[in-house]
Amino acid sequence: MTFQDERPIFLQLAEQLEAGILSGAYPEESRVPSITEYSVTYKINPATALKGINLLVDSGLLYKKRGLGMFVAEGAKEKLKAARREKFYADYVETLVREARNLGLGASELAEMIKRGFEDVD
Amino acid sequence: MSIEIKNLTKNFGDTCALDDVTLSFGENKIFGLLGNNGAGKSTLLGIVTDRLYPTSGTVEVDGENVTNNDTALSKVFLVAEQNMFPEDMSVKKAFNTAQLFYPDFDRAYAEKLSAKFGLNTKKKIKALSTGYSSIFRLILGLSVNTPYLLFDEPVLGLDAQHRDMFYRLLMEKYAEKPCTIIVSTHLIAEAAELIEHTVIIRDGRIIRDCPSSDLTANVYSVSGPGMLVDAYLSDKHVLTVNTLGGLKTACVEGGTAALPEGLVLSRVNLQDYFISLMEEEDRK
Amino acid sequence: MKMHLKSAFRYQFKSALKSAIIFCLIMLAILAVFSILAVGGYEESRATFVGYGFSAAIFMFVIGIVSIRSDLRLCLQLGISRRSAFVSEIFALLALSAALAVVGELITGAAQAAVLTAPSKHVFVGDLYQMMYLQNGFLQLGFFQHILSALCNIGLIWATCLFGMFFSLMFWRLNKAWTVIVAISIPILLNVVPWLLAKAGFDPAPFFTWMLRSPFFYILTCLVIAVFIGVINWLLLRRANIKAV
C-alpha cells in the first residue's frame, strides 16, 4: 500500500484491512497487524493507524483481545460482503437504472442486457 | 504534563529571533515544528534546554520553571546538529557517560541500534562523518527514554536508507513507549504522516499552531478555467495562484463552498500547504 | 531536589583526573631523579627543588582553561542546568586541587626523607609554605605542618585554576575585537599598573608583611581571590549562548 491516493491515510488503511478480510488474507478470529506494526511499516503516526482500525471496530468487523491485539470478528466477512452489496447497489445499480431511464430502457430490457453481460463478459 | 512556553522572546543583539512566543506541548504526542531557515526553530529548542538564555519569558516543564532546574531539564533531551561531547571521546564512552547521567538509559538498545546503523562505537566522535555524527545523536535520543524528546533537523546528512530506518525506529519507540516528541524539520513531506500537531513559525512568530488534520482539512486546491476560478476565489482566503495557459490553479484556505461546475477540487498535502503559506507570507 | 550535582561532579572530576595523574607521575619522576642525584652527589653539590605547588598551580591553570567549556556542553546535553554544571565544576576542581596538594605533600615529604641521608649539606627540597613561613629552611616537616602546607597549596592551586577558567569564559563571551584588545592590554596592565601604584605612593609591603605573619592569612587571601574570581566566572556564564565548539 502506498499513499499516492489523495484520501486520508486512515481511510486507506481501513479499506486495505477490509479488502484483506474479504479476500481471506485476514481470516476470522485471526490477529490483524498491531498499531505498532502499522506505524512502523508505513511510517505513520500510531494515532492515524488507530483511527483506521477503530473504523472497523466501530462497524463490528474487528474486536480487541486485551494484551493480545486486534482480531477479526466472527461473521466479519459476511458483514462486509453485505455492506459491499449495499454499496454496489447504491454506486452501480442506482446509476444504471437512472441512465437506463434516460435512454428509455424498461426493466425487462435492462434485465436482458444484464443477462447478455453475464454471457459475454469473462 | 507538558512543556509550557510563555511569552518567550530572544534577541541576538539587534536581531529578534523569537517574538513573544507562547506554545504548549502536551502529553504523548508528536509535534512538528516547521519553518524556514532562521525562523527561530533552533532558538526555541535551545532555550527550552538551557543552551540559550532568553531575553524574556518563561519555559515550564511539568509545571516547573526550567531555569536552574535539573529535575525539569533532565526530562528533556535535545538531539541537535551540534555535538556537545568532547571530540576525542569515543562513542562507547559517550554511551557510558549518558548512562551515568540518565538512569533509564537503555544501553543494550543503543548498542543494538549502533549495529543496525553500522555505527562503530569504538570510533572517536571527531572521526565520524556528518551522517554518522547525526546517527550517533539519534541513537542517544532514542535510548535515553526521557518524557520529552526534541529533534532539531534530525536527519541532516543521512542517506535515504538511514532516514527511512530512523523514521521507523521513531514510530516503533513512540508506539511502544509513548512520550512527547517535537520534531523540527525541513523535510516536511517525509515527516508529514508522523506529525499529529503542527506548529509553523516564521520570523520568530507562530503563525499556525493546531492539529495537522485541522490544517490539511482546511486547505484545498481548485483548478479550472481562469475566469471560473477567479469568480470562485473572490471571497476566499487565497494562498497562491498558478496560471498555466488557460488553466488556473489556486491554493485556498478555508471551507469549501459549493463548487461550481468546471472546477476540480483536490487535497493539498502538508508540504505544499507550507510552501503556499510561506509564499503568502512573503507577499505580505 | 533541583540540583543534580553528583553525576556532573563524577564526570568532571574523572575527566581531569587522567591529566592530573600524568602530572603527578612527571613530578614524581623529577623528584625521584633529584633525590637520587642528591643522595649520590658530591659533598659540594648544591640543588634546590621547591616547585611542586607552583607547578601544580600552572597545571591546574591550564585545566581551568580547558575543562569549563567542554564540561559545560556535555552537562547541558545530558540534562544538567548551567548553574549546576558550574557549581559541580568548581567543586570538582577543588577536589582535584586537594588531591594534588595531598600528593604533593607525600612526594615532597618522601623526597625530603631521602635527602636527609644526602652527604651534601646544600640540598634543598621544600615547597611554598616552608619557604614563606618556616625559618628552619628545608628540614622535614611535621604532620601538622604538612597539613598547613597542603592547605596553602590548595588555596594557590584552586585560585589559579579558577583564574584559568576566567580566561576561558572571558574569551568566549567577548567578540573578536574585544579579544584582541584584552589580549594586548593584559601584559600592558601588568607592567603599567604596579608602576602607577608605586607612583601614587601605594606600598604593597604592609599587605605582604601581614600575609607572612601566618599561613592562615595566606590561605584566606587565596580563598577570597578564588571566591571573587568564581563570582565573576558565574556572571560571565549566566547568559552565555552555548553552542558546539
pLDDT of residue C138: 58
Whole-number Cα distances in Å, C60 to B29, C49, C96: 47, 20, 9
Q: Which residues contact C86 (CB under 8 A, 6 or more apart)?
A: C68, C72, C233, C234, C237
A and B: number of Cβ contacts within 8 A: 42
Tell me how far apart the alpha carbons of residues B246 and C99 are, in angstroms, rounded to a whole number: 83
B150 strand-pairing partners = B78, B182
Task: Name the closest residue on chain B to residue C6, using Cα atoms.
Answer: B101
Query: What residues of B are in the A interface, CB distance below 8 Å?
Result: 30, 164, 167-168, 171-172, 174-176, 193-196, 213, 266-267
Domain boundaries along the sequence of chain B: 2-214, 218-283
The cell for C38 is 642528591
Do the Cβ atoms of B197 and B33 come closer than 8 Å? no
In the Cβ-directed half-sphere of C27, how many Cα atoms lie within 13 Å? Answer: 30
Q: Can you tell me the ipTM of this complex?
A: 0.91
Nearest CA in chain B to A40: B168
Contact residues, chain A, for B164 at CB < 8 Å = 43
Interface partners of chain C (CB pairs < 8 Å, 3 or more) are B
**Of B10, B50, B105, B153, which to mutate for an interface test with C (greatest number of C Cβ within 10 Å)?**
B50
For residue B284, the distance in angstroms to the closest alpha carbon of chain C comes to: 32
The DSSP letter of residue B81 is S
Asked if the Cβ–Cβ distance from B175 to A48 is below 8 Å, we say: no
CA C42 from centroid of its chain's CA atoms: 35
Rounded distance, CA B270 to CA A20, Å?
29
State pLDDT tens for residues A16-27.
Answer: 999 999 999 999
Q: Report the C-alpha dihedral over residues B236, B239, B241, B242, rounded to 10 degrees.
A: -150
Q: What is the CATH number of domain B2-214?
A: 3.40.50.300
For residue A12, the model assigns a pLDDT of 92
Domain B218-283 in CATH 3.90.1140? The answer is no
Comparing B120 with C38, which gets the higher pLDDT? B120
Q: Which residue of A has its CA nearest to B220?
A: A6
Condensed to tens digits (0 to 9), the pLDDT of residues A25-63 reads 999 999 999 999 999 999 999 999 999 999 999 999 999
Task: Find the mean pLDDT for residues B121-142.
Answer: 95
* Helix boundaries (H) for C40-142: 52-77, 82-116, 128-133
* pLDDT tens, position by position, B214-238: 888 889 999 889 888 888 888 889 9
